[in-house]
Amino acid sequence: MTYNGVEHMTILPNGGITVTETETGTFTAVPADGTGPSYSGKCTF
């Protein structure tokens, strides 16, 4: 998997913290034994 990520952190007046993270990328999945289908695509987390 190859991806890029962005993280944003906000410190609130009451001392709390919020964190947001987004990662997007591409992936390829190939069977280890060489049989069956291979898959590739895009993903966002």
Structural domain boundaries of the chain? 3-44
For residue 45, give both structure tokens.
Answer: 């987390």
- Tens of pLDDT, residues 1-45: 899 999 999 999 999 999 999 999 999 999 999 899 999 999 998
Q: Is 15 left (phi over 0), alpha (psi -120 to 50) or beta?
A: left
Q: What pTM value is reported for the model? A: 0.56
Is-contact 44 23, C-beta < 8 A?
A: yes
Give residues with Cβ within 8 angstroms of 36, minimum separation 6. Answer: none
